[in-house]
Amino acid sequence: MPKTYSDKEKEHIIKRLKEEAADCLALYGVKKTTVDELVKRVNIPKGTFYLFYSSKELLLFDVINDLHNNIQSKFLNEVNSSQGKFSCDELSNLLFEIFKKVDGTCLLNIMTNGDLELLMRKLPNEIVKEHLHHDNGIMEQLIASIPQAKDKNIEFYSGAMRGIFLTMLHKREIGDEIFDDSLKLLIKGLVIQLMEE
């Protein structure tokens, strides 16, 4: 009979699993991170892991999502604190800083080595769709804060933002020495279109 855990214990186990999964993700990537390694680090039986996550991929996606949501939350706080009173340059710079924050995480490495694609293939379709819908929700909040953008197509702009983000995977091909300026130019082009009447 499986052990039952109090709410506090469950919360602690999930927190620890996420912490160790984040470390393993940075050290080993998706393929080499194992459930055995995770349960050893958290000091729980393997069966307990499966009480919380049906696969390591769901845990790793949770970790990536937490990172993603944390960065987006900071961005939305900045946008909301400005109450829609920012210039095209200010919004472009804010978006650029968000992109650079992502660049400082393990997320880009996971994307460039193919781990994210592998992870996404192993996730249930409804989880992937929910993630994309969440991205659209963030764009909807951004558009709502820009008075002149109220009639813009959220999905198009959300897709364009993802497209700009994906250029970060090709930093070397674009040119390391010009990449930041090129990224700023792409972001500013999108912001100009978003803010035009």
Q: pLDDT value at position 1?
A: 44
Residues whose CB falls within 8 Å of the CB of residue 43, separated by 6 or more in sequence, listed in order: none
Instruction: Please give the C-alpha separations between residue 116 and each of 110, 112, 176, in angstroms, as whole numbers.
Output: 6, 8, 23
Q: pLDDT value at position 13?
A: 95
- Say what the pTM is: 0.75
Over residues 63-75, the pLDDT tens digits come to 988 988 888 888 8
Q: pLDDT value at position 126?
A: 86
Gap between the terminal Cα atoms of the chain:
64
For residues 45 and 47, give the distance between their C-alpha atoms in angstroms, rounded to a whole number: 5
Instruction: Please give the C-alpha separations between residue 115 and each of 14, 49, 118, 151, in angstroms, as whole numbers.
Output: 22, 22, 5, 37
Q: pLDDT value at position 40?
A: 96
CB 48 within 8 Å of CB 9 = no
CB 115 within 8 Å of CB 29 = yes
For residues 165 and 108, give the distance between their C-alpha atoms in angstroms, rounded to a whole number: 10
DSSP letter at 83? T
Over residues 14-44, the pLDDT tens digits come to 999 999 999 998 888 888 999 999 999 999 9
Task: Classify domain 1-53 at the CATH superfamily level.
Answer: Homeodomain-like (1.10.10.60)
Residues of the chain under the 50 pLDDT cut: 1
Tokens at 7, concatenated: 């709410």
Question: Of 47, 25, 191, which is closest to residue 110 (Cα–Cα)?
Answer: 25
Question: Of 83, 192, 76, 189, which is closest to residue 134 (Cα–Cα)?
Answer: 76
Residue that the structure tokens 């900045």 belong to: 78
